[in-house]
Amino acid sequence: MNFTARVTSRAFEASCTTSIHRGVRTAILGLVSVALGALFVVPTSLPAAADPPVTVEEARDQIARLRTDAAAIDQQYAGVKEQIRQGKAQLKLKQSDVKAQTDKVARMKLQVGQVALAQFQNRSLDTAAQLFVTADTEGFLSQISTVQKVSENQNSMLQDYQQAQANLAALEHSAETDLAVLTEKEKQLRSLTGASDKKLARANRVLTKLTADQRRKIADANQRAAARANAAGAAASRDAARTSVSASGKGAKALAFAKAQLGEPYVRNGAGPNGWDCSGLTMKAWGSVGVSLPHSAGQQYNRGRPVARSDLQLGDLVFFYSGISHVGIYAGNGQVIHAPHPGASVEYIKISYMPYQGARRPG
């Protein structure tokens, strides 16, 4: 074997030896990996990892967001409740109309029967009209459109009776429809209550994960922020009252009502005297000066006349968030008084702290 052949043969042997050793090492490592993998397989039944710890500020922000979400749902609740209130009032009127129409139909039925009887006694009633005096008067009246040979006066009376019956049926159907709608809205109220409660439960879960010291820090921070906002708002409101041309109008008086509620707690669908939601506060504030508003931020947005942000006057209603889920009452110098959300109280806040959507001037 020549030198080149010997070198090639040895290289081949070395390569094979190396490949064999590498294969053995790979196999051993693979077996070790499998063994270790078997030892460290995480069973799917184990609980998920706990939420990462949050700082006091992060927890405070989470809680505020959840409570603000709950307040937005509460305004949907207030809107549906207002629809139910209006619907019940409308249904009551319809039910009164149904009763009046029922009485009218009964009177007309009696009149038609009396006319038929009188003509029968006078022997001037034809065969078809004689059906009025049969025992099956109801059967005849249900087929009244087939009567063709009665006199002109009788025909007019029968047509009036038919129309009265049709009107009664329409009123009854409308009242039944309204009642069904109200039933569905009552279900919607329960659903919205549950959704709001879930938001508040999540906020409470965030709180329970904190230590007592962390919870105390959040409460102190909220109190300090409210105190600063109220002090700044009161000063701004005093300045505005001195310089505003509307300081003695209805808006200023509505604002004065809202000021008297500062510090009182937020209450779902609250309209006083000791607890408020945002639209309940503005509704009662303007109600104190004789202006009626619905108990709903969304519905209040459709009342009064639009006001540009640059033209705001004391007492104007200021609306926030897309979809109009919050309302406050303008206090001057870029401040509003509002009932914020569960866990908070009626307070001043800068308009710029919330997404502004528009303003209205009631009255």
In eight-state DSSP terms, residue 332 is: E
Q: Note the pLDDT of residue 232.
A: 84
Q: Active site includes 338?
A: yes
- Model confidence band, residue 139 (pLDDT cutoffs 50, 70, 90): low
Pick the catalytic residue: 21, 173, 338, 341?
A: 338
Fold adopted by 56-208: Helix Hairpins (1.10.287)
Pick the catalytic residue: 173, 278, 295, 341?
A: 278
Q: Is 256 exposed, middle or buried (0-12, 13-18, 19+ CB in 10 A)?
A: middle
**Helices 278-287 & 250-259, crossing angle to 10 degrees?**
130
Burial 75-109 (b: 16+ CB within 10 A, else e): bbbbbbbbbbeeeeeebeebeebbeebeebbeebb
Kindly tell me if the per-residue pLDDT of 129 is higher than 50: yes
- pLDDT per residue as tens digits for the range 317-337: 999 999 899 999 999 999 999
Pick the catalytic residue: 16, 173, 326, 341?
A: 326
Of 35-44, 79-88, 152-161, 271-280, where does the model show the most confidence? 271-280
Q: CB-based contacts of 146: which residues, under 8 Å, 6+ apart?
A: 128
Q: Where in the chain do CATH 3.90.1720.10 domains reside? A: 221-361
List of E strands, the chain: 305-306, 317-320, 326-332, 335-338, 347-350, 356-361
Name the β-bridge partners of 332: 335
Question: Is the pTM above the cut of 0.85?
Answer: no
- pLDDT per residue as tens digits for the range 82-124: 999 889 998 899 899 999 989 988 888 887 777 666 665 555 4
Two tokens at 252? Answer: 């200023």
Q: Note the pLDDT of residue 245.
A: 58
The hierarchical CATH code for the domain 221-361 is 3.90.1720.10
Range 219-235 average pLDDT:
87
Q: Active site includes 173?
A: no
Query: Which range among 130-139, 157-166, 202-211, 227-236 shows the weakest confidence by mean pLDDT?
Result: 130-139
Q: What is the C-alpha to C-alpha distance for residues 41 and 166, in angstroms, rounded to an integer?
A: 76
Q: Where in the chain do CATH 1.10.287 domains reside? A: 56-208
Q: What is the C-alpha to C-alpha distance for residues 4 and 188, in angstroms, rounded to an integer?
A: 93
Mean pLDDT of the chain: 79
In eight-state DSSP terms, residue 293 is: -
Q: Active site includes 326?
A: yes
Kindly tell me if the per-residue pLDDT of 153 is higher than 50: yes
